[in-house]
Amino acid sequence: MSGYYHQEDLPRFSEMGKNAPDLWKKFAEWYGAVFAEGALTAREKSLIALAVAHAVQCPYCIDAYTQDCLEKGSNVEQMTEAVHVASAIRGGASLIHGLQMRNAAEKVSM
Amino acid sequence: MSLVSIGHPLASAGEQLRVLSEPRRQLKPFEQSLAESGLLPLTATGITVLQINVGKLCNQTCRHCHVDAGPDRRETMARETAEHCIRVLAQTDIPTLDITGGAPELNANFRWIVERAKTLGRHVLDRCNLTILTVPSEADLAGFLAAREVEIIASLPYYLEDETDRQRGEGVFAKSIEALRSLNALGYGQEGSGLRLNLVYNPVGAFLPPAQAAIEADFRRELLRRHGIVFNSLYTITNMPISRFLEFLLRTGNYDRYMEKLVSAYNPAAAAGVMCRSMLSVGWDGTLYDCDFNQMLELRVDHGAPAHIRDFDPGALARRRIVTGQHCYGCTAGAGSSCGGATA
């Protein structure tokens, strides 16, 4: 094995059902329902998925949802803004923990 | 630059077919998919559209063009061949004449063909690249089309400049907007005018089109908000893996993945509704094909049907067996694709 991530593994995702077919079936049905047109459009859901893919740093998801966003009619400007939303939340999540630091420092300081 | 002008191997239909049929791709043969859907042999259901490709000359050189059209191309339909086409219309009740190219308006017989078809009471479609309407020598073209109530099918791959110009050439978006404004001013796309203006979306890259209704709503909102432009309908068309788009797929390493996507997205409902079942395509030299894509691959009608417009036989052609190949997956993926947009 030359590395941990392989682009050719992406279309093999369904092989995860080989030893747990019932669980895979449940996951696949739920996944399909999640991304169906609903109160949010399929295009909006795809942009959310792209943002989350960057937050969880999954290269497979980034690949899949970049393609999917384009196939839902989004453009690179919109997709870039979605990634910034994910990045802002990640950055903000780090920064808000700075209050823990300030609280801890305050407690032990004169 | 066209593939022909640079002497590219893929300028040859034979080379394109060779690439598409390479066994190493491990893709299910199209006929096997048809058989599994109960559609083999695929046959015509009639002829409701006569589509004539009047030549490969174009004022643009789009990166995805399946015709390999451009300013350097000289193939053009002669008056004699055009007369055969009009004679076929006169001898049949085919309701629609669909004129394509290249930029069809650059054919010297274009206006004659339109006039004759309208005189016969036929509905006429002009597949227009929009920028031709801004060429000084064609200043009266939009008025000509409007006066004869020709339906315009206009290419506009996206509602933004960057995406459009990347596919169709620098400056094309601005000229397209200028043309759309002049068409709107003539009444095209305006409710109740009777002048239909339909746009064509096709992906700017190696991916499938969005749902037609969803992207039509995006175009309607954005073109009105940004440019005050209105239109009737938007058609989504999948990029066919032939000619310049095939060259793009191979050069950028996207070919295998794109073909796998087309094959895995095969939709039996889309296959049942493919446009070749109800149309007949005529090449610039009068040769008959099942569609414009087969025309560019030089796959003429076969299985006993006459293959030239001068030998037109309505009975044999209306029931002919369609010639298919691996490229046909481009019309059967997802919601389907045709000259009139999604089919399923």
pLDDT tens digits for B236-292?
999 999 999 999 999 999 999 999 999 999 999 999 999 999 999 999 999 999 999
**Two tokens at B228?**
């005050």
Closest CA–CA distance from residue A63 to any residue of chain B (Å): 12
In tens, the pLDDT along A54-98 reads 999 999 999 999 999 999 999 999 999 999 999 999 999 999 999
Q: Does residue B199 contact residue B219 with C-beta atoms inside 8 Å? A: yes
Is the Cβ of A80 closer than 8 Å to some Cβ of chain B?
A: no
Contact assignment for A73 to B205 by CB distance below 8 Å? no
Q: Determine the average pLDDT of the residues in B324-328.
A: 97
What confidence category does residue A1 fall into, taking pLDDT thresholds of 50, 70 and 90? low
ipTM value, please give it. Answer: 0.82
Query: What confidence score (pLDDT) does residue B23 get?
Result: 73
Contact assignment for A75 to B158 by CB distance below 8 Å? yes
In chain B, what residues touch A72 (CB-CB under 8 Å)? 210-211, 214
Q: Determine the average pLDDT of the residues in B56-68.
A: 97
Q: In degrees, to the nearest 5, what angle opens at C-alpha A105 toward C-alphas A104 and A107?
A: 65
Query: What confidence score (pLDDT) does residue B334 get?
Result: 95
- Residue B89 pLDDT > 70: yes
- Residue B102 pLDDT > 80: yes
β pairing state of B49-53 and B123-128: unpaired
Q: Does residue B275 contact residue B45 with C-beta atoms inside 8 Å? A: no
Contact assignment for A77 to B160 by CB distance below 8 Å? yes
- Residue A2 pLDDT > 80: no
Q: Indicate the residue of A11, A43, A77 with minimum beta-carbon distance to B214.
A: A43
In chain B, what residues touch A43 (CB-CB under 8 Å)? 210, 214
Query: CA nearest A44 in B: which residue?
Result: B214
Q: Indicate the residue of A11, A41, A67 with minimum beta-carbon distance to B214.
A: A41
Query: What confidence score (pLDDT) does residue B321 get?
Result: 97
pTM value is: 0.92
Give CA–CA dist B62/B167, Å, rounded.
6
Is the Cβ of A22 closer than 8 Å to some Cβ of chain B?
A: no
What confidence category does residue A23 fall into, taking pLDDT thresholds of 50, 70 and 90? very high
What confidence category does residue B25 fall into, taking pLDDT thresholds of 50, 70 and 90? low
pLDDT exceeding 70 applies to what percent of chain B? 99
Contact assignment for B209 to A42 by CB distance below 8 Å? no
Contact assignment for A71 to B209 by CB distance below 8 Å? yes
Q: Indicate the residue of A42, A70, A75 with minimum beta-carbon distance to B160.
A: A75
Query: CA nearest B159 in A: which residue?
Result: A75
Q: Determine the average pLDDT of the residues in B311-315.
A: 94
Give CA–CA dist A42/A95, Å, rounded.
32
Is the Cβ of B211 closer than 8 Å to some Cβ of chain A?
A: yes
* Mean of the per-residue pLDDT values of chain A: 95
In tens, the pLDDT along B182-208 reads 999 999 999 999 999 999 999 999 999
Contact assignment for A72 to B160 by CB distance below 8 Å? no
What confidence category does residue B24 fall into, taking pLDDT thresholds of 50, 70 and 90? low
Is the Cβ of A14 closer than 8 Å to some Cβ of chain B?
A: no
Is the Cβ of B140 closer than 8 Å to some Cβ of chain A?
A: no
Give CA–CA dist B121/B118, Å, rounded.
5
Of B265, B298, B234, residue with least CA distance to B14: B298
- Residue A28 pLDDT > 90: yes
